[in-house]
Amino acid sequence: MAEQKSMLYRLKPLTDRLPTVQRPEGHVHFRTKIMWVILMLVFYFIMTNVFIYGLDTEGSLDLFAQYRAILAGAQGSLMHLGIGPIVTASIIMQLFVGAKIIRLDLTNDEDKAMYQGAQKFLVLVMILVESIPQVFGYLVPSNTFIAGLNNVVGTGGLIDGQGLAQIIIIAQLFIGSYLVFLMDEVVSKWGIGSGISLFIAAGVSQAIFTGTANWVPAMPNEEVSLSNPPSGTIPKTIYFLTNMSASDLAGGGYESILLSPPNPMIALIGTIVIFMFVAYIESTRIELPLAHGGARGARGRYPIKLLYASNIPVILMAALLANVSMFTLLLWNPDSVLSQIPLIGHNSALGYFEPGETNPAGGLAWYLSAPRGLADWLLPMLNPEAYSAQVYGHSSLQILIRVLTYFGVMVVGSIIFAKFWIMTTNMGPEAVARKIESSGLQIPGFRRDPRVLKRVLERYIPVVTVISGALVGALAAGADLIGTVGNASGTGVLLAVGILIQFYEALGREQMMEMHPMLRGFFGGE
Q: Is the pLDDT of residue 337 over 80?
A: no
Inside any domain, residue 1: yes
List CB contacts of 73: < 8 A, sequence separation 6 or more. 48, 64, 79, 80, 81, 82, 83, 84, 203
Q: Average pLDDT for residues 375-390, to the nearest whole number?
A: 85
* Residue percentage of the chain with pLDDT more than 90: 32
Inside any domain, residue 75: yes
What is residue 230's DSSP assignment?
B
Encode 354-423 in three state secondary structure. CCCCCCCCEHHHHHHCCCCCHHHCHHHHHCHHHHHHHHCCCCHHHHHHHHHHHHHHHHHHHHHHHHHHHH
Inside any domain, residue 402: no
Query: Partners of 291 in the beta sheet?
Result: 299, 442
Q: Is the pLDDT of residue 520 over 60?
A: no
Contact 317, 414 (CB under 8 A): yes
Higher pLDDT, 419 or 108: 419
Residue 160 — left, alpha, or beta (φ > 0 → left; ψ -120 to 50 → alpha)? beta
pLDDT at 518: 55
Q: Confidence band (pLDDT; 50, 70, 90) for 463?
A: very high
Q: How far apart are CA 352 and CA 362, in angstroms?
A: 6
Query: Partners of 437 in the beta sheet?
Result: none
Taking alpha carbons only, the member of 389, 367, 369 closest to residue 326 is: 369
Encode 196-211 in three state secondary structure. HHHHHHHHHHHHHHHH
Residue 47 to residues 14, 58, 224, 488, Cα–Cα distance (Å): 28, 20, 32, 20
Inside any domain, residue 272: no
pLDDT at 174: 94
How many domains is the chain built from? 1
Q: Confidence band (pLDDT; 50, 70, 90) for 373?
A: confident
Q: Lowest-pLDDT range, 6-10, 98-102, 188-192?
A: 98-102
Contact 175, 78 (CB under 8 A): yes
Q: How many residues would you count in the chain?
A: 526
Taking alpha carbons only, the member of 16, 43, 67, 24 closest to residue 318 is: 67
Q: Is the pLDDT of residue 62 over 60?
A: yes
Taking alpha carbons only, the member of 274, 281, 285 closest to residue 464 is: 285
Q: How far apart are CA 233 and CA 246, in angstroms?
A: 20
Q: How far apart are CA 187 and CA 40, in angstroms?
A: 7
Query: Partners of 288 in the beta sheet?
Result: 302
What's the sign of the alpha-carbon dihedral 49, 52, 56, 57?
negative
Structural domain including 9 reads 1-191
Q: Confidence band (pLDDT; 50, 70, 90) for 524?
A: low
Inside any domain, residue 106: yes
Inside any domain, residue 35: yes
Inside any domain, residue 168: yes
Beta sheet of 299-305, edge-to-edge order: 299-305, 285-292, 441-442
Inside any domain, residue 142: yes
CATH number at residue 99: 1.10.3370.10
Phi, psi dihedrals of residue 358, rounded to the nearest 5°: -110, -10
Q: Confidence band (pLDDT; 50, 70, 90) for 1?
A: very low
Q: Is the pLDDT of residue 2 over 70?
A: no
Q: Is 222 exposed, middle or buried (0-12, 13-18, 19+ CB in 10 A)?
A: exposed
pLDDT at 290: 80
Higher pLDDT, 64 or 82: 82
Q: How far apart are CA 205 and CA 118, in angstroms?
A: 32
Mean pLDDT, the chain, whole residue set: 85
What is the rounded (10 degree) CA torsion for 474, 477, 478, 483? 160
pLDDT at 47: 94
Contact 106, 430 (CB under 8 A): no
pTM for this predicted structure: 0.78
